[in-house]
Amino acid sequence: MTSTDNQPADAPILVIFGITGDLSRRKLLPALYHIFSQELLPANTKIIGVSRRPLDVNDLLGNVELCVLEKDNVCDPEGIRRLKDALESFQLDPGNQADFIRLKDRLTELDGANGDQREHLFYMSIPPEAYTPIVEQLGKNGLNDRRSRVLLEKPFGYDSASAQALITLVDTYFSEEQVYRIDHYLAKETAQNLLTFRLYNPIFSSLWNAEHIERVEIRATETIGIEGRAEFYEKTGALRDLVQSHLLQLLAITLMDLPADMSSGEIHRTKQYFLEQLLPADPNLAVRGQYDGYKQEVQNEASTTESYARVHLKHGAERWQGVDFVLDTGKGMAEKLTEITVYFKTTHAHSSNNLTFNIQPNEGITLDLIVKAPGIENQTTHTTLDFDYQKLYTDTQHIDAYERVLMDAVRADQSLFSSDAEVLATWRVLQPILDKWSGNDDDLRRYAVGSAAGTITDTSVHVN
Ligand code: BG6
């Protein structure tokens, strides 16, 4: 009898393709460490780390410790030990069917006696062109039965046509209920709070329309550059990397109709309805930029890839007639910041009521107000109502977005994942910009690393 024969039926097996990649090292494995450290999954949960080359799990674990120490300042040895017990490496060539048969055998072995209850989660921590043959092999070798789920990392294609092709491929072998398209921004604490805030604070519902809202702006800036991911980023760029996925998803949950309940099906139905009514973007209003030194970093002097993008969108529903939606993102900027600001219409020069959802780094919600300044004169001053997570929840354990993503996939909750129809709707909206920007650098602005958000739209910034 092997040590795995007596596993309870409910302990899942997570198979990670691309275990040595950047995402696994920086996000997934540290998230799994936290999950194991807090014993959020059954003790005998298994993680199979798949790589093309032979791999020693101790190397991976050493890196996890470094990552965790860097972020948390402390690394629980017991958590690392549990992760080590759960983790095993598996060498596989995605083009070799025999390797998938071996993988299936290993899963059957781990399933044990009551095995057909044990769930198999296949996590594609690799680009879409790399997961295409893997999805095919999983399907052809029977690793797509009803207890199998496939988790896909973005980008979900590179444009409308490639997204459709990927969806068709995945659909050939897996039903939509088995597919989890990850958008880790939806799993960030304040992003999740958005719907709760809207549902349970009805004073805002009557204001949530074009009569009261002038503009909604979503900004996601990063100080980091592309961090050695030249191959990935050259094919992607800021529009595909952040706007198509994270920012459009955030826009949808900020403005979509309130779902009748918080079930996954209802959330997806309302989100899809909102996204499908967004009008195709006007490419002449879109701005793109590239930080100084980018071309040298990717060793491509001809690169036209944007590291900054700003997009203006309009919505077809009467409720949002004329409201400007602005999505703004860039790497190599002055600060790491993600925030959603709802600008309410002003009634006179001094009025201002902007509502801001601070997604990161300082999570919270603020409302700008004008009040009377203290004193004998009737003067006004600016102030804010401030809900600050850090101040309010000092003892609460911070849950990283990837911990939430992994836990939700294990408990089969699709609420925070993107559906195929949502993905197609977002590509359709951005396709005119992709077409205009393709293969030229006509209006690509250059900006200095450390530029403040907003300056790239400034005409003083050099246009190539
Ligand atoms: C990823 C992008 O989806 O999100 C990266 O591919 C980006 O380019 C990252 O750096 C940012 O995530 P976070 O959680 O650090 O804001």
Given the CA of residue 222, which atom of ligand 1 is nearest to it? 10
pLDDT per residue as tens digits for the range 241-270: 999 999 999 999 999 999 998 899 999 999
Whether 5 has a pLDDT exceeding 60, the answer reads no
**From the CA of 21, how far away is ligand 1's center (Å)?**
14
Confidence of residue 352 (pLDDT cuts 50, 70, 90): confident
pLDDT per residue as tens digits for the range 161-211: 999 999 999 999 999 999 999 999 999 988 888 999 999 999 999 999 999
**From the CA of 333, how far away is ligand 1's center (Å)?**
14
In contact, 169 and 144? CB cutoff 8 Å: no
Residues with CB under 6 A from ligand 1: 222, 241
Position 348 scores a pLDDT of 77
CATH 3.30.360.10 placement within the chain: 186-462
CATH 3.40.50.720 placement within the chain: 13-153
Confidence of residue 391 (pLDDT cuts 50, 70, 90): confident
Whether 350 has a pLDDT exceeding 90, the answer reads no
Six-digit token string for 29:
């494995």
Angle between helices 29-37 and 401-410 (to 10 degrees): 70
With the most atoms of ligand 1 within 8 angstroms of its CB, the residue from 183, 186, 218, 242 to mutate is 242
Which residue's alpha carbon is at the smallest distance from atom 2 of ligand 1?
A: 241
Six-digit token string for 126:
């690799």
- The number of residues in the chain equals 464
pLDDT per residue as tens digits for the range 406-456: 999 999 999 999 999 999 999 999 999 999 999 899 999 999 999 998 888
CA 329 to centroid of chain Cα atoms: 14
CA 203 to centroid of chain Cα atoms: 30
Q: Is 246 a catalytic site residue?
A: yes
Whether 8 has a pLDDT exceeding 60, the answer reads no
Q: How many other C-beta atoms lie within 10 A of the C-beta of residue 131?
A: 23
Given the CA of residue 241, which atom of ligand 1 is nearest to it? 6
In contact, 331 and 306? CB cutoff 8 Å: no
Q: What are phi and psi of 272, to 5 degrees?
A: -60, -40
Buried/exposed 143-164: b ≥16 CB within 10 Å, e otherwise: bbeebbbbbbbbbbbbbbeebe
CATH number belonging to domain 13-153: 3.40.50.720
Q: Which fold has domain 186-462?
A: Dihydrodipicolinate Reductase; domain 2 (3.30.360)
In contact, 278 and 315? CB cutoff 8 Å: yes
Given the CA of residue 338, which atom of ligand 1 is nearest to it? 16
Confidence of residue 67 (pLDDT cuts 50, 70, 90): confident
CA 304 to centroid of chain Cα atoms: 24
Confidence of residue 277 (pLDDT cuts 50, 70, 90): very high
Which residue's alpha carbon is at the smallest distance from atom 8 of ligand 1?
A: 241
Six-digit token string for 49:
């780390």
Q: How many other C-beta atoms lie within 10 A of the C-beta of residue 458?
A: 12
3-state secondary structure of 440: coil
Alpha carbons 238 and 233: distance in angstroms, whole number: 8
**From the CA of 119, how far away is ligand 1's center (Å)?**
28
SS (H, E, C) 172-197: HHCCHHHEEEECHHHHCHHHHHHHHH
Which residue's alpha carbon is at the smallest distance from atom 13 of ligand 1?
A: 185
In contact, 327 and 313? CB cutoff 8 Å: yes
Confidence of residue 155 (pLDDT cuts 50, 70, 90): confident
Query: Which one, of 179, 102, 105, lies nearest residue 135 by Cα?
Result: 179
Confidence of residue 458 (pLDDT cuts 50, 70, 90): low
Given the CA of residue 233, which atom of ligand 1 is nearest to it? 8
Q: Strands of 331-403 (E only): list them.
A: 337-344, 354-360, 364-372, 380-388
With the most atoms of ligand 1 within 8 angstroms of its CB, the residue from 246, 307, 403 to mutate is 246
Considering 34, 120, 246, 268, which one is annotated as catalytic?
246
Six-digit token string for 349:
């020069």
What percentage of the chain reaches a pLDDT higher than 70?
96
**From the CA of 436, how far away is ligand 1's center (Å)?**
25
Provide the CB-side half-sphere exposure for 9 (13 A, CA).
6
Average pLDDT, the chain: 92
CA 345 to centroid of chain Cα atoms: 30
Q: Could you tell me where the DSSP H helices lie in 44-159?
A: 57-72, 77-86, 97-111, 128-140
Tell me which of 350 and 317 has the higher pLDDT.
317
Which residue's alpha carbon is at the smallest distance from atom 15 of ligand 1?
A: 222
Whether 4 has a pLDDT exceeding 50, the answer reads no
